[in-house]
Chains A and B, each alone.
Chain A
Amino acid sequence: MIPSAFEYLRPETLEEAIRLLQENSEEAVLLAGGHSLIPILKARLAQPGILIDISRIPGLKGIGREDQALLIGGMTTHHEIESDPEVNEVCPLLAETASLIGDVQVRNRGTIGGSLSHADPAADYPATLIALDAEFVVTGPDGARSYRAENFFEGPFDTAMEENEILTSIIVPAPQGKIGGAYCKAAQQASGFAVCGVAVTVMLSDNGQIEFASIGITGVSASPYRASGVESALTGQAPTAETIEAAADRATEDIEPIEDLYGSAEFRGHLARVWTKRALEQAVKMAGS
């Protein structure tokens, strides 16, 4: 429970952080909220020689509004997201998701950028950010580029980010209309991580049909994914109980659910279908009201 020795660096600017990463790419690791990294260090599962603390870099933290989108800095904490009035108004689904992460201490320290970069297959945000069609902006030695949420995660603890890049912001579109959203999760009892987390946004057209449905699922497979089969089964349909149920049955189409202490593959697949159905029901209800 005592980490091995490391050097601690705290750059003041993004450029400096990237330069430090470049200079030490063999042995340096970024430190954000520390709520995934520090436990790993304490268990000596990783023994990096250098930690680069990015918590004091101006501009990496905070929530802003740009046209129809929310702009969230990578160093923004889960608590800031859950309690921000703008997020709660424009995108309550994201606030709700943040509020279900771990416990108060975790939410006070942990950051959205840290969570996404860490890419724990059971993390909560990925499901929601896939459902919201978010974009992740990363900045590296060659400048900034961005990824669609669903293309970012490449496997357990693995992302499309290159070495020496920093996840600097998250852009969350906030379309107008008869929109409803829901995030439902079966939580791992000890940590709160998702054994199965399903995020849904639906938009209803004026005649009450489903204009689009967007579904992200986490915890169930090696990476969070978009449940495309469910989406296509819903688009253009009236949101009847039968339609929803049949669509939800496709929640694990082409997916191989994972298995661990908290659930077999079979159970996870089952949970994905149950929670997709329930999340859809909630979201449709909200969109219609």
Chain B
Amino acid sequence: MAKAPAAPKFIGSPIKRREDPKLLRGLARYVDDIDLPGTLHMAIVRSSFGRAGIRSVDINALTDLPGVVAVYTAADLEGVGPVPVSGLVPDARVPVQPVLANKEVRFAGEPVAAVICETRYGAADAAALVDVDFEPKEAVVDLEKALAPGAPKVHEDYDDNVAFNWELVGGDVEKGLAEADVIVKQKIVNGRVVPLALETRGVLASYDPGEEKLTLWSSTQVPHKLRTHIADQIGMAENRVRVITPEVGGGFGSKLNIYREEALAAYISRDLGRPVKWIESRSENFLATIHGRGQMGEVEMGLMKDGTLIALRYTVLADCGAYYQYLTVAIFTLTGLMIPGPYKLPNVEMKVTGVFTNKIATDAYRGAGRPEATYVLERIMDIAAAEIGMDPAEIRRKNFPAKSEFPFATAAGLSYDSGDYAGALDKALENAGYADMRREQVEARKEGRYLGIGLSTYVEVCGMGPSAALGGQGWESARVRVEPGGKVTVFSGASPHGQGQKTSFAQLVADGLGVDINNIEVIHGDTDTVPFGVGTFGSRGTVVGGSAVVIACDKVKEKMARYAAMKLEADASDIEFAGGKVYVRSAPEKSADFAEIAGLAYSAMELPPGTDPGLEETHFFEPPNFTFPFGAHVVLAEVDPATGDVKILRYVAVDDVGNQINPLLVAGQIHGGIAQGAGQALEEEILYDTGGQLINGSLMHYSLPKAGLFPRFELDHTTTPTDVNPLGAKGVGEAGTIGSTPAVVNAVVDALSPFGVRHLDMPVRPERIWRAAAAKGEQG
């Protein structure tokens, strides 16, 4: 019986997530589920002011409290290094962020002391009794006021509150604007939002004095980075620290940081010789885990009357917070890199002024800089379309590079790998029935109903990324081991925390080795067992991590083929893997079980020429470029101008993420992404008062998008593979978020166009809508 080369059986199939049964049955183990005997509990005493001096920290009230073991303040931690930062730009001011504040606190929620107690409740009670004598000072909250002469300073050591200046210039914007027929301008605020992973942060540190080793269970996206930095902060050898990420309940970028509590728990566990656990409360999560976005700027675009874009300038204040976290500065530069979006824009310029404020740092939040770019661009595209009287779909299509123009070099200096932007837009418009939608809009208006149609066409940069472009560590690692019994274990350096790569990596290897998916085990998130890795962020898990898996798998397969060739008396190049067997392609009646060949490689009684025993291969995959997924989203929304209520009637999305390994996982990512992006558009914004107090830091006050906000998502895709990696996959973790925010806002603004509204800042909450409509009244 002849066997054709196996068609992919698993890759491309909507296989259900292998992660889910345990999650759904409550059998998953998060940091807080891990109980070690003798564990101590840490509670953090935090600043209750945005900015204040610390006169003293009085712990006398704790003296006789049962269970209190120790209290640490800054003075006890002099040898502990500051919070690590990276991704800086030249000449950035880099304030030192100590693990506990010493003389001054710079944001509400900043850690001042760590209380260690036998029980978690005891720790909370004891922390409440620590008496910090604060000397409140005027806080810096508003970005413009922060830069005004004479403003109070977040850091007294600097002359002002400027954190950094950075600009990106491509082409000649001044000249472009001079040549343009029309110039449109808009001030745009992209407020702060909270990543709000469902599992808050948490860490359990356990120092073994005998082994002189520290094990850290942490809810993080970057176990190896955490290991490197914690070892450095507390002065241990890197290979004496083991970081394990058990189940991690979401991150959205917020756990791509090294936080103070991680170093505290690690240091204190070593100091006391007992395990120390800290689980973040939801209130702390609002206060002391990074926020996202935080841009306030003006965009200016020049174009010709026929819609051809000439030049774009975005000048922006970036809200850094009081200290940087891991990638605070870099996130703003990503906005610059993507500011031309999917359009041919020969002249672009982005000028960023980073501003220190008395708030928690901003950092990566789903999309991390690209949603900001897309939002600014997609808003100004609609404004431009209205200005020249062109349909929003038409002006977009007019400025896309053609499919044949890829790889496409942008004025911002990137090379877009592949694309068919018009293809995605056309499909989205067709699926939406765009022309009918526009007719429906006209009809509705006659009945006094206000429908709006919002478009966004986006491209984003992900698959982070070439190491040189990232300032190091852009690769990812994988090891594939065929076990002696024929099972396959995959060790990945990536660190999935909800994305589902235990499923998709298994699909890759099942097809690669022609075995059933149930024979494959995927292991990640343990620095003692997986190869040195980078982590999961920037939609890189599958694109970079999966590529490493595929290449490591190919290497194993190549070696295994030699064992098969020996056994089947054939040439290794003639060996085929399929259905749990190995065949000789030219003589398919000659076959052996996959497991049997695996056994041969380990028994090693006989070796093929030039071949070592064992079946285990590692690969570090370095991507030659980023990847650039793209898409088009169309939203139909109804707005009630009297109440400001918005109802999303339809959500149509066409996303192109290259080849899809698992369409079900892709759809899941798009669903969540759309919801998260729409949340910012309609409901989410975290607010500080003028004293630097967080005023809506709870889920009773800060609204997350809920299912009731949405109709059924109408998803579709086009497929434009990339040649940047062996999978042809582009990454999907952030695409939905990037596309949805502007699409939703554009729909609301479009609905309000009869009132002369051309822009509303997010979140477009009811009162904003009502005011905008009421201010102008219906105009004709």
Q: What is the minimal beta-carbon distance from A100 to any residue of chain B, in angstroms? A: 12
Segment of B136-144, B598-606, B763-771 in the binding face: B763-771
Contact with B along A40-77 (1 / 0, CB 8 A): 00011000000000000000000000000000000000
- Distance in angstroms between the alpha carbons of A29 and B770 in the assembled complex: 42
With A267-B767, A267-B770, A274-B643 already in contact, the answer to whether A1 and B282 are too (CB < 8 A) is: yes
Query: Which residues, 626 to 667 on B, are CB-close (under 8 Å) to A?
Result: 642-643, 645
Residue A39, interface by CB 8 Å: yes
Interface size class of A (residues with CB under 8 A): 20 to 34
Residue B687, interface by CB 8 Å: yes
Contact call B643/A2, Cβ cutoff below 8 A: no
Residue of A nearest to B200 (CB): A1
Residue B125, interface by CB 8 Å: yes
Segment of A159-167, A183-191, A212-220, A281-289 in the binding face: A183-191
Residue B701, interface by CB 8 Å: yes
With A1-B282, A5-B125 already in contact, the answer to whether A270 and B703 are too (CB < 8 A) is: no
Contact call B643/A191, Cβ cutoff below 8 A: no
Contact call A271/B283, Cβ cutoff below 8 A: no
Contact call B121/A2, Cβ cutoff below 8 A: yes
Residue of B nearest to A268 (CB): B767
Which residue of the partner chain, among A2, A262, A274, contacts B642 with CB atoms under 8 Å? A274
Contact call A186/B645, Cβ cutoff below 8 A: yes
Query: Which residues, 679 to 714 on B, are CB-close (under 8 Å) to A?
Result: 682-683, 687, 695-696, 698-704
**A residues near B182, Cβ cutoff 8 Å:** none
Residue B128, interface by CB 8 Å: yes
Which residue of the partner chain, among A5, A39, A263, A275, contacts B121 with CB atoms under 8 Å? A5
Query: Which residues, 243 to 289 on A, are CB-close (under 8 Å) to B?
Result: 261-264, 267, 270-271, 274-275
**A residues near B642, Cβ cutoff 8 Å:** 274
- Distance in angstroms between the alpha carbons of A195 and B703 in the assembled complex: 14
Which residue of the partner chain, among B120, B701, B767, contacts A190 with CB atoms under 8 Å? B701
- Distance in angstroms between the alpha carbons of A1 and B46 in the assembled complex: 14
- Distance in angstroms between the alpha carbons of A216 and B111 in the assembled complex: 47
Query: Which residues, 171 to 193 on A, are CB-close (under 8 Å) to B?
Result: 186, 188-191
- Distance in angstroms between the alpha carbons of A5 and B119 in the assembled complex: 13
Residue of A nearest to B695 (CB): A261
Q: What is the minimal beta-carbon distance from B287 to any residue of chain A, in angstroms? A: 12
Contact call B695/A186, Cβ cutoff below 8 A: no
**B residues near A43, Cβ cutoff 8 Å:** 283, 698
Q: What is the minimal beta-carbon distance from B746 to any residue of chain A, in angstroms? A: 20
**A residues near B682, Cβ cutoff 8 Å:** 189
Residue of A nearest to B682 (CB): A189
Q: What is the minimal beta-carbon distance from B682 to any residue of chain A, in angstroms? A: 8
Residue of A nearest to B124 (CB): A2
Contact call B282/A271, Cβ cutoff below 8 A: no
**A residues near B702, Cβ cutoff 8 Å:** 190
**A residues near B124, Cβ cutoff 8 Å:** 2
**A residues near B696, Cβ cutoff 8 Å:** 190, 261
**B residues near A263, Cβ cutoff 8 Å:** 766-767
Interface size on B, residues (CB 8 A): 30
With A5-B125, A267-B767 already in contact, the answer to whether A189 and B695 are too (CB < 8 A) is: no
Residue A240, interface by CB 8 Å: no
Residue B519, interface by CB 8 Å: no
Q: What is the minimal beta-carbon distance from A194 to any residue of chain B, in angstroms? A: 13
- Distance in angstroms between the alpha carbons of A188 and B281 in the assembled complex: 23
Contact call A190/B121, Cβ cutoff below 8 A: no
Contact call B281/A261, Cβ cutoff below 8 A: no
- Distance in angstroms between the alpha carbons of A5 and B65 in the assembled complex: 13
Residue A4, interface by CB 8 Å: yes
With A1-B282, A2-B121, A43-B283 already in contact, the answer to whether A186 and B700 are too (CB < 8 A) is: no
Query: Which residues, 1 to 32 on A, are CB-close (under 8 Å) to B?
Result: 1-2, 4-5
Which residue of the partner chain, among B120, B703, B704, contacts A2 with CB atoms under 8 Å? B120
- Distance in angstroms between the alpha carbons of A288 and B535 in the assembled complex: 65
Number of inter-chain CB pairs below 8 Å = 55
Which residue of the partner chain, among B283, B284, B645, B687, contacts A261 with CB atoms under 8 Å? B687
Q: What is the minimal beta-carbon distance from B448 to any residue of chain A, in angstroms? A: 13
- Distance in angstroms between the alpha carbons of A42 and B720 in the assembled complex: 51
Contact call A190/B699, Cβ cutoff below 8 A: yes
Which residue of the partner chain, among A44, A262, A270, contacts B770 with CB atoms under 8 Å? A270
**B residues near A189, Cβ cutoff 8 Å:** 682-683, 703, 765
Contact call B700/A191, Cβ cutoff below 8 A: yes
Query: Which residues, 728 to 780 on B, are CB-close (under 8 Å) to A?
Result: 765-767, 770-771, 774
- Distance in angstroms between the alpha carbons of A159 and B597 in the assembled complex: 80
- Distance in angstroms between the alpha carbons of A262 and B771 in the assembled complex: 14
- Distance in angstroms between the alpha carbons of A26 and B714 in the assembled complex: 58
Contact call A1/B281, Cβ cutoff below 8 A: yes
With A261-B687, A261-B696 already in contact, the answer to whether A186 and B121 are too (CB < 8 A) is: no
**A residues near B767, Cβ cutoff 8 Å:** 262-264, 267
Q: Which of B642, B645, B695, B696 has the most CB of A within 10 A?
A: B642
Q: What is the minimal beta-carbon distance from B197 to any residue of chain A, in angstroms? A: 16
**A residues near B770, Cβ cutoff 8 Å:** 267, 270
- Distance in angstroms between the alpha carbons of A263 and B644 in the assembled complex: 11
Residue of B nearest to A189 (CB): B703
- Distance in angstroms between the alpha carbons of A195 and B645 in the assembled complex: 12
Contact call B283/A186, Cβ cutoff below 8 A: no
With A191-B700, A264-B767 already in contact, the answer to whether A1 and B645 are too (CB < 8 A) is: no
- Distance in angstroms between the alpha carbons of A261 and B763 in the assembled complex: 13
Contact call B125/A4, Cβ cutoff below 8 A: yes
Residue of A nearest to B766 (CB): A186
Residue of A nearest to B283 (CB): A1
Query: Which residues, 244 to 301 on B, are CB-close (under 8 Å) to A?
Result: 281-284
Query: Which residues, 464 to 493 on B, are CB-close (under 8 Å) to A?
Result: none
Q: Which of B120, B683, B704, B767 has the most CB of A within 10 A?
A: B767
With A1-B283, A267-B767, A274-B642 already in contact, the answer to whether A44 and B128 are too (CB < 8 A) is: yes
Residue of B nearest to A273 (CB): B642
Q: What is the minimal beta-carbon distance from B76 to any residue of chain A, in angstroms? A: 24
With A2-B120, A44-B128, A261-B687 already in contact, the answer to whether A190 and B700 are too (CB < 8 A) is: yes
**A residues near B121, Cβ cutoff 8 Å:** 2, 5
Q: What is the minimal beta-carbon distance from A202 to any residue of chain B, in angstroms? A: 21
Contact call A186/B643, Cβ cutoff below 8 A: yes
Q: What is the minimal beta-carbon distance from B732 to any residue of chain A, in angstroms? A: 28
Which residue of the partner chain, among A4, A44, A261, contacts B701 with CB atoms under 8 Å? A261
Contact call A39/B700, Cβ cutoff below 8 A: yes
- Distance in angstroms between the alpha carbons of A186 and B642 in the assembled complex: 12
Q: What is the minimal beta-carbon distance from A118 to any residue of chain B, in angstroms? A: 14
Contact call B643/A271, Cβ cutoff below 8 A: yes
With A2-B120, A267-B767 already in contact, the answer to whether A191 and B701 are too (CB < 8 A) is: yes
Query: Which residues, 315 to 374 on B, are CB-close (under 8 Å) to A?
Result: none
- Distance in angstroms between the alpha carbons of A5 and B281 in the assembled complex: 18
Residue of B nearest to A2 (CB): B124
Query: Which residues, 531 to 573 on B, are CB-close (under 8 Å) to A?
Result: none
Residue of B nearest to A184 (CB): B643
- Distance in angstroms between the alpha carbons of A242 and B120 in the assembled complex: 63
Q: What is the minimal beta-carbon distance from B695 to any residue of chain A, in angstroms? A: 7
**A residues near B701, Cβ cutoff 8 Å:** 190-191, 261
**A residues near B284, Cβ cutoff 8 Å:** 1
Q: What is the minimal beta-carbon distance from B777 to any residue of chain A, in angstroms? A: 14
**A residues near B283, Cβ cutoff 8 Å:** 1, 43
**A residues near B281, Cβ cutoff 8 Å:** 1-2
Query: Which residues, 3 to 54 on B, are CB-close (under 8 Å) to A?
Result: none
**A residues near B703, Cβ cutoff 8 Å:** 188-190
**B residues near A195, Cβ cutoff 8 Å:** 766
A-B contact pairs, 9 of them (CB 8 A): A1-B281, A2-B124, A43-B698, A186-B643, A186-B645, A189-B682, A262-B767, A267-B766, A270-B774
- Which A residues fall within an 8 A CB radius of B? 1-2, 4-5, 39, 43-44, 186, 188-191, 195, 261-264, 267, 270-271, 274-275
Given contacts A2-B120, A189-B703, A262-B767, 9 further A-B contacts (CB under 8 A): A2-B124, A2-B281, A5-B125, A261-B687, A261-B696, A263-B767, A267-B771, A274-B643, A275-B643
Q: Which 3 A/B pairs are nearest by Cβ-Cβ distance?
A: A1-B281, A189-B703, A190-B703
